[in-house]
């Protein structure tokens, strides 16, 4: 059971890091697009 728990924890960690990375990328793109809108004078 310990081996299964370890593998599950590693999978959750990798999946969690992937979700965090993807979320950060989406947030960065949103902020970047928002900044472009400000430069163009759009809300």
The pLDDT tens digits along the chain (43 residues) read 566 676 777 878 889 999 999 999 999 999 998 888 766 665 5
Q: pTM above the 0.75 mark?
A: no
For residue 1, is it within any domain?
no
Number of domains, the chain:
1
Whether 24 is in a domain gets the answer yes
Rg (alpha carbons) of the chain, rounded to whole number: 18
**26, part of any domain:** yes
- Among left, alpha and beta (phi > 0; psi -120 to 50; other), residue 30 is alpha
Look at residue 8 in the predicted model and tell me its pLDDT. Answer: 73
Q: How many other C-beta atoms lie within 10 A of the C-beta of residue 11?
A: 10
Range of the domain at 30: 6-40
Q: What does the pLDDT read at residue 13?
A: 84
């Amino acid at each position: 059971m310990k081996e299964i728990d370890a593998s599950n924890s590693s999978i959750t960690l990798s999946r969690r890091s992937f979700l965090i990375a993807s979320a950060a990328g989406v947030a960065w793109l949103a902020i970047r697009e928002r900044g472009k809108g400000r430069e163009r004078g759009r809300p």
